[in-house]
Structure 1
Amino acid sequence: MPEIPKFHEFMRPLLEVLRDQGGLSRTDAIEAVVKKMGLSEEQVAVSQESNGNSLVRGRIGWASSYLRVAGALTGPQRGYFALGPNATALLALNRPIKRADLTSFEEWKAHQAFKQTKSQPQQGNSADINIEDSTPEDLIEAGVKLIKEQLAADLLEQMKKMDPYAFESLVLDVLAAMGYGGGSRQAMQGVPRGPDGGIDGRINEDKLGLDQIYMQAKRYADNSVSSEKVQAFVGAMTQGGCRKGVFVTTSTFTSDARQFAASIRDPRLVLVDGEKLAELMIQHGVGIQTKEVIKISKIDLDFFGAGE
């Protein structure tokens, strides 16, 4: 098999292509990188054993994902690549870019810190798994975990760019997929803009709407949701006679906001931050597509033992 560059070896060529040609569609950017690096047809034709897709194109895709986390690449629209704010610093290195070069950026540190707060200590870091001490099943598990982490990050980035009204509708879609309102999107309604005290949606728990859940959705890029915002929502719930509420944001909640939500028993309130929302979207298949299903076989001992 011909030698294929490692994924990090595609980082600099990808940034250089976007620097020289401007924003490009994902397909055009990948083809431009292949051309720039002078890869042969034989190299491009090498496929991944698990899915038959091009190994080269897959590694360019992973290079783009790492650059995106580090703030060196952005997606101005679906399926497009453009340079991010940290691209200039990486290009100024005037040498091939390594994964270690990404770790000094605040965006990368924030992403890693966010992952650490959600990860179980005993599971370890999927990026730091020791190949020598790992079984093939361990490696598969680590790979799946890493893919899910990147998918969650991509979902969050897309949600933060959404129109606020579209984001509110997305949250209702997720709640419907989870079974609220009997799993019917028709049992849910958005609330027109006005003096609603921050209520963005109502979910009927029964067909007559005798019991309802109120929903508020805040599409923030960076700002955390304060305790004042949460208290105002609880006030709107109480005024509307609602005893259950869900407050959803693409960002995070301050510690005071979480403490306040935990301290009340009536009405009941659940806070869902950006990472939890992305996790729920993956779990319930909202806003994602199944890219591939990998079949793993094992020996059938019953077959070989049939004659005994």
Structure 2
Amino acid sequence: MSLPTYDQLMLPLMKLLSEQHEAIKFGDMAILMAERSGLSTEELNLRLSSGTKTIFYDRVGWAKTYLVKAGLINQPKRGFCELSEIGRRLDLKNLTSITIEFLMQYESFSNYKLGILKENKEVENEVSEVTFIQKLEETKTPDEIIIGTTELLKESLKRDLLRLIKENSPQFFERLVVDLLVAIGYGGSHQDAAKAIGKTNDGGIDGVISEDRLGLDKIYIQAKRWENTVGRPDIQQFKGALADQVAKKGVFITTSNFSKEAIESARKSGIVLIDGDKLTSLMIEFGLGVQIERSFHIYKIDQDRFDEDNF
């Protein structure tokens, strides 16, 4: 018996959750899936080449991730899963399988799956998104597949980071901003930066941080853990606060996004905007809240080693 693929695990996973009366831990869910799989102990113990986890556990994880992206599974709290209202409306008894093509009918999943590729879509409008993905896979080089998959994993990680940030308190977000700015190179020491952030309460300014270790210049910070789009009035308020301080540099950080008017207003004033997408990108770039699970080396021929003139 061969190990089921992640898509072959999606329907069994949905059926298992339909039997639960409350949210279940992912670890417990994976154990139940393993017990129902009919796989031998040896098969269940097969591990990824990295050795970090079993192949079966990894595939259950990806099945869960895709179902969450489609909105069929909710995560009411960290590490727990349950069927969503949309998931409960599915006729699971008469479904023979849940495939990527099936999930593409849900906008949240299609947006996730296509990711940044959607901006570069060059096929006719009547071509389905599933066909678009298939065409991309048929024409990609191995290098392009690696890059595309890496970007897809990165986008998924960024969404998960943003969700975790929003689940925590505003005070957690302030500390996160401190950690990020120090990681980037601002604020001198972490202790100095921590003293500066969240202490001013001065008309739209949440903190002041040194631009360099010598403290020769100051950057004024606005840090907002928001859901709604930040508009022009919010930027105008921040600009007014900067003017009162005779400040030249400001950074507005939010977990949401900025309206076009807000972006234009900030651009004219030299205010740097960091939205949720940029925030999580910087966290990944500077290793804040993330860790490397595994890495790969791609080798090529060293031509000099085979050039006889070099010997």
TM-score (norm 2): 0.82
Q: Distance in 2 between matches of 1:72 and 1:193?
A: 44
Relative to structure 1, is the Cα distance of residues 215 and 73 closer, same or farther in structure 2, using a 3 angstrom cutoff?
A: farther
Match of 2:224 among 218, 238, 247: 218
Residues 224-278 of structure 1: CA deviation (Å, up to 9, x unaligned)? 11111111111112112221111111111111111211222xxx20111111111
Taking only the aligned residue pairs, the percentage that are identical comes to 36
1:199 aligns with 2:200: no
Q: Which runs of 5+ in 2 are unaligned?
A: 123-129
Q: Cα distance, 1:113 vs. partner?
A: 8.3
Map 1:1-308; keep pairs closer than 5 Å: 2-21=1-20, 22-49=22-49, 51=51, 53-90=53-90, 94-95=94-95, 96-108=97-109, 111=112, 115=116, 130-182=136-188, 184-188=189-193, 189-192=196-199, 194=201, 196-206=202-212, 209=215, 211-221=217-227, 223-264=228-269, 268-298=270-300
Q: Distance in 1 between matches of 2:251 and 2:101?
A: 39
TM-score (norm 1): 0.82
Q: How many residues are matched?
A: 298
Q: Distance in 1 between matches of 2:162 and 2:113?
A: 14
Q: Which amino acid aligns with 2:65?
A: S
Q: Which runs of 5+ in 1 are unaligned?
A: none
Relative to structure 1, is the Cα distance of residues 218 and 158 closer, same or farther in structure 2, using a 3 angstrom cutoff?
A: same
Name whichever of 147-156 and 107-116 sits farther off: 107-116
CA RMSD of superposed structures (Å): 3.2
Relative to structure 1, is the Cα distance of residues 45 and 71 closer, same or farther in structure 2, using a 3 angstrom cutoff?
A: same
Name whichever of 67-76 and 159-168 sits farther off: 67-76
Relative to structure 1, is the Cα distance of residues 169 and 186 closer, same or farther in structure 2, using a 3 angstrom cutoff?
A: same
Residues 30-54 of structure 1: CA deviation (Å, up to 9, x unaligned)? 1222223333334323333455642
Q: Distance in 1 between matches of 2:272 and 2:253?
A: 8
Relative to structure 1, is the Cα distance of residues 185 and 83 closer, same or farther in structure 2, using a 3 angstrom cutoff?
A: farther
Alpha carbons 1:16, 1:91 under 8 Å: kept: no
Alpha carbons 2:114, 2:133 under 8 Å: kept: no
